[in-house]
Amino acid sequence: MAAEEMARAGLRVSLAEQKPSLGRKFLMAGKSGLNITKDEPHERFIAAFHEPRLRPMLEAFGPAEAVDWAEGLEQEVFTGSSGRVFPKAMKASPLLRAWLRRLDGLGVRFETRWRWVGGAAFDTPEGRVALEPDVTVLAMGGASWARLGADGRWAARLESHVAPFAPANMGFRVDWSAHMQPHFGAPVKPVLLTAGEEVHRGEFVISARGLEGSGIYAVSRAMREGAALTLDLLPDMAREELEAKLAKAGKQSLPNALKRLKLSPAKRALFFEFGRNRDCSVAQTLKSLPVAHDGPRPMDEAISVAGGLRFDSLDDGLMLRAQPGVFAAGEMLDWEAPTGGYLITGCLATGAWAGRRAADWA
Domains assigned to the chain:
2-167+299-361 (3.50.50.60), 172-291 (no CATH)
C-alpha closest to that of 3 among 102, 124, 112: 102
The CA-based angle 185-188-191, given to 5 degrees, is 160
Residue 239: Cβ-neighbour burial (10 angstroms; 0-12, 13-18, 19+): middle
Which are the contacts of 25, defined by CB distance < 8 A and separation ≥ 6?
141, 145, 148, 149, 150
Helical spans, DSSP H, in 278-341:
282-287
Strands 109-112 and 14-17: parallel
Each of the 362 residues of the chain gets a pLDDT tens digit; together they read 999 999 999 999 999 999 999 999 999 988 878 999 999 999 999 999 989 999 999 999 999 999 999 999 999 999 998 899 999 999 999 999 999 999 999 999 999 999 999 999 999 999 999 999 999 999 999 999 999 999 999 999 999 999 999 999 999 999 999 999 999 999 999 999 999 999 999 999 999 999 999 999 999 999 999 999 999 999 999 999 999 998 888 778 888 889 889 999 999 999 999 997 777 899 999 999 999 999 999 999 999 999 999 999 999 999 999 999 999 999 999 999 999 999 999 999 999 999 999 999 99
